[in-house]
Amino acid sequence: MTFGQRLSELRREKKFTQKVFAQELNVSERCVRAYENGTRHPDFDGLLALADYFDVSLDYLVGRSDHRAVAR
């Protein structure tokens, strides 16, 4: 699974539209669409913020693992 697919899945689990999610992240709806379709990626700090927001590991967020758990 790609980062965009995983992000879309996590967003939908929270029942957010792209518009509402963009408002949550303080980015444009266009930015969320670009993340989800793979034409744009957040920087490292953005990835960390998203992983924290969804309470998942970075590996899960970027599709390198199917285990959501965050190592603590």
Domains of the chain as residue ranges with CATH: 3-61 (1.10.260.40)
Q: pTM value? A: 0.89
Please list, in sequence order, all residues whose beta carbon lies within 8 angstroms of the beta carbon of residue 41, skipping any fewer than 6 positions away: 3, 35
Tokens of residue 31, six digits:
């930015």
Is a pLDDT exceeding 90 seen at residue 70? Answer: no
pLDDT digits (tens, 9 = 90+) for 12-60: 999 999 999 999 999 999 999 999 999 999 999 999 999 999 999 999 9
